[in-house]
C-alpha cells in the first residue's frame, strides 16, 4: 500500500519543481524585457540596475529589448492575443519597444554602454504554461 503513496508524492514533487522552474524563467523574462516607462536614453542604467548580462557570465549582452507594456498585456500573447510562429508565439498587435545595442564590444558588466532605438513591432516570445519565458525577436509588420 505504501508504493502508490510514494509515487504520488514523487509526482507531486516533480510538478512543483517544473512549476517553480517556469516561474523562475517568467520572473527573469519580466526583469530582462518588461519596462512600461523605458526610453532610449535609459539603456545603460536599466541594464546595469537589472544586472542583465550574457547568460552565466559578466560579459555585456549584445542586444536587449525592452517591451513598453504591462505584464498582463504581454502575458495575453500566450493566449488570445497571440498566434503560433514556428516554435514561438507572435503578438497579433504591435508593441512599442526599445532595443538596446552594445556600443563598447570588449566591456564587462557593469561597464556596458548601449545605444537605444525605439520601434513599434510585433514580437515573438516563447510561452510555457501560459507565461512568457523568452523574448525571441521583434517582427516588422507590413500591411498588404
Which residues are identified as catalytic?
33, 134
Bridge partners (DSSP) of residue 77 are none
The Cα angle at residue 117 between residues 116 and 123, in degrees rounded to 5: 115
b (16+ CB within 10 A) / e for 100-125: bebeeeeeebeebebebeeeebbbbb
Measured between alpha carbons, how far is residue 15 from residues 42, 129, 133, 140 in Å?
A: 39, 12, 18, 38
Cβ-proximal residues to 80 (8 Å cutoff; 6+ apart), any chain: none
Measure the CA–CA gap between 40 and 117, rounded to whole angstroms: 6
Measure the CA–CA gap between 28 and 25, rounded to whole angstroms: 5
Amino acid at each position: 500500500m505504501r508504493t502508490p503513496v510514494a509515487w504520488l508524492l514523487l509526482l507531486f514533487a516533480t510538478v512543483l519543481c517544473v512549476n517553480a522552474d517556469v516561474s523562475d524563467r517568467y520572473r527573469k523574462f519580466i526583469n530582462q524585457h518588461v519596462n512600461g516607462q523605458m526610453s532610449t536614453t535609459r539603456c545603460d542604467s536599466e541594464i546595469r540596475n537589472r544586472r542583465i548580462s550574457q547568460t552565466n557570465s559578466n560579459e555585456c549582452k549584445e542586444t536587449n529589448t525592452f517591451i513598453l507594456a504591462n505584464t498582463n498585456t504581454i502575458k495575453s500573447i500566450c493566449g488570445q492575443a497571440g498566434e503560433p510562429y514556428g516554435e514561438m508565439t507572435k503578438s497579433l498587435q504591435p508593441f512599442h519597444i526599445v532595443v538596446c545595442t552594445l556600443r563598447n564590444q570588449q566591456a564587462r558588466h557593469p561597464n556596458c554602454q548601449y545605444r537605444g532605438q525605439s520601434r513599434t513591432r510585433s514580437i515573438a516570445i516563447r510561452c510555457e504554461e501560459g507565461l512568457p519565458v523568452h523574448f525571441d525577436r521583434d517582427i516588422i509588420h507590413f500591411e498588404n
